[in-house]
Structure 1
Amino acid sequence: MPRAQKHIFVAYAADAATPLASFVAARLSLSPTEATALVRGGSVYIGDKRQRSAQHALAAGDRVTIYLAPAASEPAGEPERILVVFQNDDLAVIDKPAGVASAATRAGGERTVEDFVRRTFGKQARLMHRLDRATSGLLLVSRRAASRADLQQALAEHAVERRYLARVRGHVAVDEQTFEGRISVGGGRAHVSTDPRAAPAETHVRVLRRDADDTTLLECRPRTGRTHQIRVHLAHAGHPIVGDTAYGGTDAPRLLLHANEIVWRELDVRSSRVPRALAP
């Protein structure tokens, strides 16, 4: 029988007084409900003592050990696979795990989404847009050159709606809002700019849930596709994405941003594997 997976973390000064369940949720990218269940179920220890109180306040230097049952852990062995979640004669929708590059880098030597597209759908197929390496979720693939122009035009005119899930630091006060800050890119980073030459960018944001760990789960709908657009707009608003250390987010095992849904004409496809910490 597979053994439970053991995770050990140390609480630092910044973690002092943090409720135990909130600490567990942040370190393992779990939802608050899942983290609370782990604590109350006896799977979390502070030092050598089991702690079942989800609200137990941590002290700096506390050694927190978490035991995860095999079913709750990621599968061992092969890296998480790219999945095909929809296909017809003209297009496909694939589900990319975090950590996989959309396209080859100069260094080369790693698997990419573009490689997967060629192997799976043939030389005619083309990946129609990209996700950052750290972002997981859905991507559109054109399978035939004959019908590609239609999809290209739809993307250019922002007729294809892409809906993301993001968990951000702090409680977002406004239930629905639209960010329209222009975005400039330099040195591999993007930022909101007042320069009229910067690229226009628009992101609509809706609050799905405000949680007790001082984070907010959001649905984000970018109308444009600028570099790091969602990440930059949220960070500029004072609510960086959890795990997005490049833009001021707290450290976490992964960036909590997931491309969850693609809508275009009759097509409405949702991701087959939403990260637990982003479950609505």
Structure 2
Amino acid sequence: MEKAYKLLALQEHISHKEAKSLIDKGLVSVNGKRLNIARGNLSPKTIFTVEKIQKPQIIFQDSNILALDKPPFVESYDLCKFFPEWNLLHRLDRETSGVILLIKEGSDFHTKAKMEFRAQKVYKEYLAIVNGILSEEVEITKPILTIKKGFAKSKIAKDGLPAHTLITPLQVSGKKTLVQAIIKTGRTHQIRVHLSSISHPIFGDVLYGGSPSSRLMLHAHKIAIFDYEFSSPMPKTFQGIIQ
């Protein structure tokens, strides 16, 4: 047996430091399951799969707004490094893929767009693969409290902020369900916490009780604000799990 990061370094011909970084970023998996502990002991015969960071693709751009198709494993804030003239209007979790919007900081459109988010007038639709068979539509309005100590984690709590999620099952495959999630609010980890609260955590979301996978199976499928509407197709990784 040998430390995982040492074996990865040998396989990829990189330094131990680089190998640890890849594992810490959630980019390494073994047999389709993400590797979480760099110092864990594994067989020398272990074969690692390393996710390659993709460049975000432009869905639409004009003078007001830049819509991007965010790859998984990219921090929302890092998108501005690719497009330095633009700033985030909202954000997605690092492992969540899909549509994300950027604007020009301080513009009239920025001010109006922020007001739309605060007024809960922005349409936000996600796709997720969850553990278990979900056969009926579920509306979840449990309040969410977020605690930030080194990293953010949320939970259902009476003294939390209001949160609203509408879950609709789309397809069942084995003991997994592809669902549509429409949110009116935007609490930290809202969809993840709400689905976990009804015993259907998202596949790959080990933080909230989901089965291990190569990534968090959550995708920002569609967003609409004012007269704009943008969408991103379901990732191929989803299609490989839901057949």
Specify if TM > 0.5. Answer: yes
Moved more, 185-194 or 162-171: 185-194
Alignment of 1:130-209 (within 5 A): 130-143=91-104, 145-174=107-136, 176-186=137-147, 187=149, 188-195=152-159, 198-209=160-171
The reply to whether residue 84 of structure 1 matches residue 58 of structure 2 is yes
Q: Distance in 2 between matches of 1:273 and 1:166?
A: 9
Q: Are 2:197 and 1:236 equivalent residues in the alignment?
A: yes
Kindly name which structure, 1 or 2, has the bigger radius of gyration based on alpha carbons.
1
Taking structure 1 as reference, are residues 173 and 270 closer, same or farther at Cα in structure 2, changes over 3 Å only? same
Off by >4 Å, runs of 4+ in structure 1: none
Tell me the percent identity.
31
Change (3 A) 1:278 1:265: farther
Structure 1 contact 167–256 (Cα < 8 Å) conserved = yes
Distance in 1 (alpha carbons) for counterparts of 2:64 and 2:238: 33
Aligned residues: 196
The DSSP-based 3-state class of the residue aligned with 2:185 is coil
SS in 2 for 1:250: coil
Instruction: Name the residue aligned to 2:22.
Output: none
Per-residue deviation, residues 190-247 of structure 1 (Å, max 9, x unmatched): 101123xx111111111111112x0000010111011100000000110000000000
Uncovered stretches (5+) of structure 2, i.e. residues with no partner:
1-30, 34-46
SS in structure 2 at match of 1:230: helix
TM-score by length of 1: 0.64
Give me the whole-angstrom Cα distance separating, in 1, the residues matched to 2:142 and 2:101. Answer: 26
Alpha carbons of 1:221 and 1:273: their partners in 2 closer, same or farther (altered >3 Å)?
A: closer
SS in 2 for 1:246: helix
RMSD of aligned alpha carbons: 2.7
Q: Distance between the aligned counterparts of 1:79 and 1:217, measured in 2?
A: 25
Q: What is the CA distance between 1:274 and its match in structure 2?
A: 2.3
Letter in 2 for 1:154: E
TM-score computed with the length of structure 2 as normaliser: 0.73
In 1, Cα distance between equivalents of 2:153 and 2:214? 21
Residue 263 in structure 1 maps to residue 224 in structure 2: yes
2:177 paired residue among 216, 226, 229: 216
